[in-house]
Amino acid sequence: MSQAFVDLRSDTVTRPTAAMREAMRAAPLGDDVFGDDPAVNGLQEKIAGLLGFEAALFVPTGTQSNLCAILSHCQRGDEYIVGQMAHCYRWEGGGAAVFGSVQPQPLNHHSDGTLALSEIEASIKPDDAHFARTRLLALENTLGGKLLPFDYVQQATALAKKHGLGRHLDGARLFNAAVAQAAQTGGSALAEAKRIAGCFDSVSVCFSKGLGAPVGSALCGSREFILRAHRIRKMAGGGMRQAGMLAAAASHALDHHVGRLAQDHALARRLADGLAGIEGLQVETPQTNIVFVDLTGAAREQSAALLKHLAGRGIRATGLYRLRFVTHLDVDADGVDRAVAAIREFFRR
């Protein structure tokens, strides 16, 4: 794969493949606001069926999908329990609080991304006028590229159900989680995705990350839940017209790009292995397609200089709070090796 630069900033930077572009061109179109776009309707039925839900809603972004989910589970004055580093709490502009007056109750993560079950239970408020009403537990899988252990997912969602809470999964990278879990169980990625999703009342799935579609997410749940979410999508400006071209890309991704996520995971391991042993770097062993790197010792203040050096060598990466490298379908082994060589060059100077 030939490219002028290697873009490791995120798996959101992918471009549609030639086959995906053809699927988009050939998509039958209607007006989705009237509910008569056949490609959108087909995608919604497909993703709902794959994950074991009654219905699904196609939305422009994962942020809007999570917003629709939280506001469909909760009312003004309610709260949701969520992790400090969860995307729907930290990285989505506080949308649930701003638009829905829904209060987050953030909890600290363990090193594996989980929230302590005892802290979840202790955070559930009593039915008292002094408190916001606890209505929802929101988890994310993968979280920072880490697969939540399935036994933990079962325990946490069972605890939430026991206390009458809704259970939402931000599954922006659900299929990365499913591929990683399938490698552990020997099952299929689609079966593992459905098994994970089965623990939740609603699941958001992003098509524009590892699956490689240009735009779009889906929110899955019961028919009643999706009817509520549909109304919120309208208020949030997410009702699109001839959206079938985008839905066709997402549908193509589900048919052709799930299994290949294992290649991205292998490339992330290749990158991490290539950086092993460099003095001044602490590399977190990747579980999926994201490699986090911390600068240590004398190199601690060199993050900006390293990113500038990489940019000069045609390598794009981010360092918002840690150095992060993300593999995806537009990155190949040669690109990973170029990144490793450029980083090693920096530390030899």
Tokens of 186: 């020997």
- Cα end-to-end span (Å), the chain: 30
Q: What are phi and psi of 281, to 5 degrees?
A: -120, 135
40, containing H or E segment: helix 38-51
Shared domain for 294 and 247, answered yes or no, is: no
Q: Are residues 201 and 299 in the same domain?
A: no
Predicted pLDDT of residue 2: 44
Within a domain: residue 212? yes
Tell whether 131 is covered by a domain.
yes
- What pLDDT score was predicted for residue 299? 85
| % pLDDT > 90, the chain | 95
User: What's the pLDDT at 349?
Assistant: 79
20 is a domain residue: no
Last residue of a domain, one of 255, 274, 289: 255
Q: Tell me what the mean pLDDT of segment 271-285 comes to.
A: 95
pLDDT in tens, 226-249: 999 999 999 999 999 999 999 999
Mean pLDDT score across all residues of the chain: 96
* Average pLDDT of the segment spanning 250-256: 98
Domain containing 76: what range? 31-255
Q: State the Cα angle at 48 between 18 and 231, rounded to 5°.
A: 100
Q: What is the pLDDT of residues 167-207, one digit of tens each?
A: 999 999 999 999 999 999 999 999 999 999 999 999 999 99
pTM of the model: 0.96
Same-domain pairing of 109 and 181: yes
User: Binning pLDDT at 50, 70 and 90, where does residue 271 land?
Assistant: very high
Residue 300 pLDDT: 85
Query: Of all residues in the chain, what percent carry a pLDDT higher than 70?
Result: 99
Same domain, 224 and 106: yes
Which stretch of 57-71, 213-227, 293-307 has the lowest confidence by average pLDDT?
293-307
Give the tens place of pLDDT for each residue, 99-154. 999 999 999 999 999 999 999 999 999 999 999 999 999 999 999 999 999 999 99
CA Rg value for the chain: 21
Domains of the chain: total? 2
| Other Cβ atoms within 10 Å of 149 Cβ, number | 15
Q: Average pLDDT of 269-291? A: 96
Within-domain flag for 24 = no
Same domain as 273, residue 244? no
Same-domain status, 218 and 169: yes
Residue 247: Cβ within 10 Å count: 32
3-state secondary structure of 238: coil
CATH code of the domain containing 140: 3.40.640.10
Instruction: Please check whether residues 130 and 45 belong to one and the same domain.
Output: yes
- Hey, which bits of 151-270 come out as E strands? 166-171, 202-206, 217-221
> Mind listing the pLDDT tens digit for each residue in 27-61?
999 999 999 999 999 999 999 999 999 999 999 99
Tokens of residue 13, six digits: 């930077």
Q: Is residue 308 part of a domain?
A: yes
- Residue 21: inside a domain, yes or no? no
Residue 1 has pLDDT above 80, yes or no: no
**Could you say which of 201, 220, 255 is where a domain stops?**
255
Tell me which of 226, 255, 284 is where a domain ends. Answer: 255
129: how many CB neighbours lie within 10 A of its CB? Answer: 4
Structure-token pair, residue 294 = 């911390």
Asked whether residue 3 carries a pLDDT value surpassing 70, the answer given is no
Whether 58 is covered by a domain: the verdict is yes
What is the distance between the alpha carbons of residues 144 and 345, in angstroms, rounded to a whole number?
27
224 residue type, one letter: E
Question: How much is the average pLDDT of 289-311?
Answer: 93
Query: Do 131 and 270 belong together in one domain?
Result: no
99, with CB counted inside 10 A (0-12, 13-18, 19+), is: middle
CATH code of the domain in which 291 resides: 3.90.1150.10
DSSP state, residue 61: -
Residues 95, 233, single domain; the answer is yes
| Angle CA 145–148–152, to nearest 5 | 170
